[in-house]
Amino acid sequence: MAAALINVPSRAKRGDIIEIRTLTSHIMETGFRHTMDGTLVPRDIITSFTCRYNGTEIFRADLFPAIAANPYLSFFTIAKESGKFEFEWIGDNGYASTASASITVE
Amino acid sequence: MSFWRAIAVVAFLVTVPGLLAGEIPSDARRSGYSFMGPETRAIQDDDTSNPGMLFVLDGEALWAKKTGSAGKACADCHGDARNSMKGIAARYPAFDKTLGRPVTLDQRINLCRADHQQATPLPYESRDLLALSAFVAQQSRGVAITAGDDPQAKPFVEQGRNLFMQREGQLNLACTNCHDDNFDKHLAGAPITQAQPTGYPLYRLEWQTLGSLERRLRSCMAGVRAQAYDYGAPELVALELYLMSRARGMPMETPAVRP
């Protein structure tokens, strides 16, 4: 089950610096661990995260095996216009998950 | 006569403080939360940064999902969990009259699945079982713990208390040796807490997932080099019941975050 928790202020003043916090559900299996019988547990991680603000990419991050399960990312942007933030997580084994949040800018 | 009486009095005076020593006075009890650093507290305090909430969201979806050959969802009998499940987890493990013994919240969910949904039981520590019990227990957040108040549960609370006081394992330690006598000190880098189970199932950063109180108890047993009881074993349930009754009146925090 893919679930995400997004925290974006629902309204902001034009020009305000706002914080965006995202938390998504993922095991982030490193690919370095072995089972009891010695076989390697294959890597299964999120490799990329993107945030678009009304279609324009404003934040992107590459993720690596050392990042803990259920990755939490927080970043800042300037509130320019009302609209929508779209979030996308892409990972191993064709993993893809999306979420969105809207904001009203006054 | 008076000689024997004197011996009896001395024996009494020696044993009574011995039995009571270490038990934490009720106003000195502290949740594991108070032993954590400010960063870890911040993760728990904000529901959009608390990874336990991801499981609660999954549990909410499972609550409404029809399952088993009866084709019923939890919500079909219990309705809106926000009303029907408020305060429920605060009294678990609870005495089950049919079985004649206390059952944990996880066991209750599986009993419900077997009896009313005709569904297969969810394995212990599986994501679905943890998600459901986290969702149910979250409805009791802030509610005072009342587990063990049922008079029929008393013998099992006593059994749990005896297990808590009993030394075990190659290190020959009882739970009480750390959690009553030495809390606030450190075991390697980690603070020793009072073992008040206020936030289960909880998200441990070490586990990188949600886990039950039974998982926590089993890792403590492995820590003292003892043979851990199996999940669902009557001894583990009794210990769980004693721990919850020991935290009587403390508010539930589910889903808590611990290091």
Task: Look at residue A104 and give its three-state secondary structure.
Answer: strand
Q: Which residues of A touch B (CB under 8 A)?
A: 1, 3-7, 21, 23-25, 27-28, 68-70, 72
pLDDT at residue number B18:
43
pLDDT digits (tens, 9 = 90+) for B105-139: 999 999 999 999 999 999 999 999 999 999 999 99
pLDDT digits (tens, 9 = 90+) for A68-94: 999 999 999 999 999 999 999 999 999
Q: Assess whether pLDDT exceeds 70 at residue A24.
A: yes
**Residue A56 has which token pair?**
């324009």
Shortest Cα–Cα distance, B131 to chain A (Å): 11
- B49 contacts in chain A (CB < 8 Å): 5, 7, 21, 23, 72
- A20 contacts in chain B (CB < 8 Å): none
Annotate B106-145 with b (16+ C-beta within 10 A) or e (fewer).
Answer: bbbbbebbeeebebeebebbebbbbbbbbbbbbbbbebeb
Task: Note whether B128 and B62 are within 8 A (CB).
Answer: yes
- A69 contacts in chain B (CB < 8 Å): 51, 208-209
Q: In terms of CATH, what superfamily is B33-259?
A: Cytochrome c-like domain (1.10.760.10)
Shortest Cα–Cα distance, B246 to chain A (Å): 33
- A5 contacts in chain B (CB < 8 Å): 47-49, 53-54, 57
pLDDT digits (tens, 9 = 90+) for B55-107: 999 999 999 999 999 999 999 999 999 999 999 999 999 999 999 999 999 99
Model-level pTM greater than 0.80?
A: yes
Please tell me the distance from the alpha carbon of residue B117 to that of residue B108, in angstroms, as a whole number. Answer: 13
pLDDT at residue number B19:
45
Which chain B residue has the Cα nearest residue A69?
Answer: B208
- If we measure between CA atoms, which residue out of A64, A65, A70 comes closest to residue A27? A70
Q: Closest to B49 (Cβ–Cβ): which among A1, A23, A25? A: A23
pLDDT at residue number B16:
46
Shortest Cα–Cα distance, A43 to chain B (Å): 16
Residue-range domain boundaries for chain B: 33-259
pLDDT at residue number B1:
47
Q: Assess whether pLDDT exceeds 70 at residue B3.
A: no
Binned at pLDDT 50, 70 and 90, residue A3 comes out as confident
From residue B239, alpha-carbon distances to B83, B104, B133, B214 in Å are 29, 11, 19, 9
Please tell me the distance from the alpha carbon of residue B125 to that of residue A87, in angstroms, as a whole number. Answer: 30
Domains (range + CATH), chain A: 4-30+43-105 (2.60.40.10)
Interface test mutation site (partner A, options B44, B47, B48, B50, max chain A beta carbons within 10 A) = B48
- A7 contacts in chain B (CB < 8 Å): 46, 48-49
Q: Which residues of B touch A (CB under 8 A)?
A: 46-49, 51, 53-54, 57-58, 61, 127, 205, 208-209
ipTM for the assembly: 0.89
Please return the burial class of B239, using the count of CB atoms within 10 Å of its CB with bins 0-12, 13-18 and 19+: buried
pLDDT digits (tens, 9 = 90+) for A36-74: 999 999 999 999 999 999 999 999 999 999 999 999 999
| Strands A46-53, A56-62: pairing kind | antiparallel
HSE (CB half, 13 Å, CA atoms) of B11? 6
Interface test mutation site (partner B, options A6, A21, A23, A44, max chain B beta carbons within 10 A) = A23
Across the interface, do A28 and B208 touch by the CB < 8 Å criterion? yes
Task: Note whether B237 and B105 are within 8 A (CB).
Answer: no
pLDDT at residue number A2:
56
pLDDT at residue number B13:
47
Let me know the angle formed at the C-alpha of B186 by B231 and B90, rounded to the nearest 5 degrees: 40
